[in-house]
Amino acid sequence: MCLTLLTGCSDDKQPPQSDHLINQTLYTAITHSDRSDIDRQRDERRKPAQVLEFLGVSPGMTVIEIMAGGGYYTELLSRVVGRLGKVYSHNNKLYYEFQSDKFVEQRLKNNRLPNVIRWDKELNDLQLPDDSIDAVFLMLVYHDFYWSEDNPEQILADLYQALKPGGTVAIVDHSAKSGSGTSAANKMHGIHRIDEQLVKQSFEKAGFILNGESALLRNAADTRDKPFFDKSLIGKPTDRFVLRYRKQERKPERKQE
């Protein structure tokens, strides 16, 4: 019997041995008996244990998932950060116009993820205190900033302010062709991808420091010219980049002599 939803079942199940070892906390979150079948089906393409390990999630963190949708990653983050941590699950009005809130309600019903705070705010008005967040997660959504918002640069500036010094921003997104800039991302009825180089330029301009990138979700067979929801891609993974940025640590103040 599970003692708590946050830490999973207290059995002695161990992660399988492989070339890429997954730590116990992540393994427990991924294999938790309360996860839905729909979420489990998504795991094969998303590789959440490996991705979250690379992005550096750990117990006790305060994190926010921006444009969390129905909360696939929110639930995993909730279980990883545990009872001493906190997860802001963010969505905006635009999401609810397309999806209603039934998936969010199902995810959070009966207080099943008690460390999750439903955070229904606009992207340009997130209302997060300065230096309050350990990690920001942008999971397959950063491209949406360019068709749905007037000023993506200001959103990045606000996220920078909300992050604690040394905090992390994690970005996973569908790759567009190199050199395409915003052209694959700036239309609601476009292909919903983004140029990795544009992402890097935007985050570095906002003051973030790149401190990791991973090929975990690369797929060379993807031509990068169709939306992820195209019929030809149903059941197939897109080529996706995984980037990890951090906010620079503050230098200690010099003591007055």
Q: What is the structure's pLDDT at 14?
A: 46
CATH code: domain of residue 219 = 3.40.50.150
pLDDT at 8: 32
> Is the pLDDT reported for residue 254 higher than 80?
no
pLDDT digits (tens, 9 = 90+) for 28-73: 999 999 999 999 999 999 999 999 999 999 999 999 999 999 999 9
**Does this model's pTM top 0.75?**
yes
Residue 30 in domain: no
Residue 253, in any domain of the structure: no
Identity of residue 249: E
Please provide residue 109's backbone torsions phi and psi, each rounded to the nearest 5 degrees.
Answer: -60, 150
**Three-state DSSP state, 113:** coil
**Rounded-to-integer distance, Cα 186 and Cα 114, Å:** 36
Domain assignment present for residue 197? The answer is yes
For 41, half-sphere exposure in the C-beta direction (CA atoms, 13 angstrom radius) is 5
Give the pLDDT mean for 210-233: 96
pLDDT band at 74 (very low <50, low <70, confident <90, very high): very high
Q: What is the pLDDT of residue 96?
A: 94
Q: What percent of the chain has pLDDT over 70?
A: 89
pLDDT range class, residue 17, cuts 50, 70, 90: very low
Q: What is the pLDDT of residue 99?
A: 87
Domain span holding position 72 = 58-246
Q: What's phi and psi for 8, nearest 5 deg? A: 85, -170
Asked if 192 and 186 touch (Cβ cutoff 8 Å), the reply is no
Grade residue 235 by pLDDT with cuts at 50, 70 and 90.
Answer: confident
Mean pLDDT within 89-115 = 94
Residue 20 has pLDDT above 60, yes or no: no
Query: 223 lies in a domain?
Result: yes
Whether 16 maps to a domain, the answer reads: no
Our count of domains for the chain comes to: 1
Range of weakest confidence among 2-16, 160-174, 217-231? 2-16
Share of the chain above pLDDT 90, in %: 85
The tokens for 239 are 């080529």
255 pLDDT more than 50: yes
Would residue 53 count as lying in a domain? no
pLDDT given at position 23: 85
Q: Determine the Cα–Cα distance for residues 37 and 211; give it in Å rounded to an integer.
A: 34
Q: Which amino acid is at 191?
A: I
AA letter at 170: A
pLDDT at residue 251 is higher than 70 = no
In a domain, 214, yes or no: yes
Predicted confidence band at 249 (pLDDT cuts at 50, 70, 90)?
confident
